[in-house]
Structure 1
């Protein structure tokens, strides 16, 4: 199963846990409390618990599949191993597409944040140069080695969590219990709407598993890191929502652009607002560093498995032992999308793409179990097929809430990818026949 003997297994439980937390806790946490409060009022805490339960089930599917498939690629590798190259190809494209557009959006948000303090960065030329420095710098760091890349992820994780933890710790004196009291239950429609938004907010931890070929003892490391990562994020989110609601009360929905910075302004004064804005910038940068560490491994997996006929993308640097060509390509795509802009309207389609990958992974768990019957050393979710089946059903429910236009767009995109896949396969077969006409 371990095809990538050229990669170094240097990522342990702490590094993988930090990787998962770093990607999930992105820019969204700095605006999420106001959105939840607007929909749910003071009862928003229950939506966190519900969505935490849902994403935990999905990540359990990743844990089981990750203990069986130990090579790089994450969701793509699991789907490809279970169902073959074509479903694996679709999963990989959906993963890369969703992440690339997300990275481009976050990079632009980071530039806008910097532009608030230094207006010179609002000019188009300077903006593009800064984007190039961000993507180029992260690309170079990850080419040098996964140890350096995962080291930066650990630093970013601590840097982004520190101001949030400090805000939680020092806010308790400013909390009013009256702001946390609720006398009416939210409607089912409101609960569903808030759950959908929060489910997207919890996404991303799966990207932390795409470094499977570089994880030490993955059978034990993957499930432990997932448990630590998801539990930490859930506790953090619940505490942040409680503090925000408790301090600002009914005024919380009014601070949609920077609710946590507004809480910090009450707790620490004007300097608190500035510090939390800086924290948001660090969080965005941390998310980008994690994505550029993880997603190139999907492209690398596609090429190394010959799902796409571009063997150069499977190249490993002779000195640093990293998939440097795939890292360069993914960084280039992210920079190009960020520089062009005009892609934010595709955010929902990108998120739906990740839900399709999750759906494939849930089904892959069932298929891999049948293949690996009798193998006991791998992690296995308890309660039979309950978790993967329930996960798949919930994902279909979320996808059913897409608009007709969005569903049509996804179907057309799948048809285009299918055509491309089989055309490439046909051309590859034709070229081989010409190279070896005698068979």
Structure 2
């Protein structure tokens, strides 16, 4: 196994794609140092990542397969604690994963997603009408705050029956979960607030069930003496569905708008019919993955990666954690060519791993794609003269090496092309 120094992951996510390039330079699998000095293997080769994501010798359950967790060496103050502590399908393995995923998978079928489209179009129209008023006043608008964020959060809130008055608190919790640069105090505070907010939601839905997914999950918990879903699994499934159910779509819409505004020739391809909005969505997912890196998986046994004699061959030892480096994989030159880091909506072969692969493939992918496919053409049709209001270099990323988007996206709204 080749010796190599670890690439130290910047928890603030200040240079996600530069960091991804440095990881790729180390080979298909590279040693990285996560916050808190935790060592892991980052996998950046799309082919290898696909294989590992479907390999039964790779687990997501730290309670069974991560010695640092089993031995109590991972503190609740660790910035990634919530990502491994939750008990839901995200951290489940084997039969447990299948059991938990089955409980929510019916809510995200292609048919149910299609049925949501009219409501997504309605919300999009409402948001654009509100933006129209700001545009008429000549104001600079934070498009992430006023459009990219509210569409997905309203959709997921309606799906899960979240009361509007809890919106601000839930947003703060989700932002805290994705903030990998958080202080120990912020980490523990977010963890406590998360369960307090969701506990209140569950209690309210038990008192007054509705036609929503939270009520359906409670029913699954309470049926058959609670044998199908424990109380902790109920709460943690809500954590997963509410947070992942909107954060990735916020970043997808944000990154797509940013890419088109900074690559006007690509927007011209779409307007001329040389590419479609599906191409915009998929190329954005490839080149600017909404989730840059996803923690964590664990080797169930020693895994030999590469052929004997291969200079890049490594052995991922039993129990060592694995980081799925989606942002790095999406720009792999061996897969996408020398211009892999270029946003090109006319590119052939835009297949990517932005939503994962295998049994842990993102359940909400069809919904996220549909929301972006509705939002983007509606936005650019309403405001064909849309432009960034600040130089690109002044934009700041969210404070995360997981979530890949902008803190704000200031734009000028004009109806002239």
Per the normalisation by structure 2, the TM-score is 0.27
Which has the larger helix fraction? 1
Which has the larger strand fraction? 2
Greater relative CO (CA pairs within 8 A, separation 6+): 1
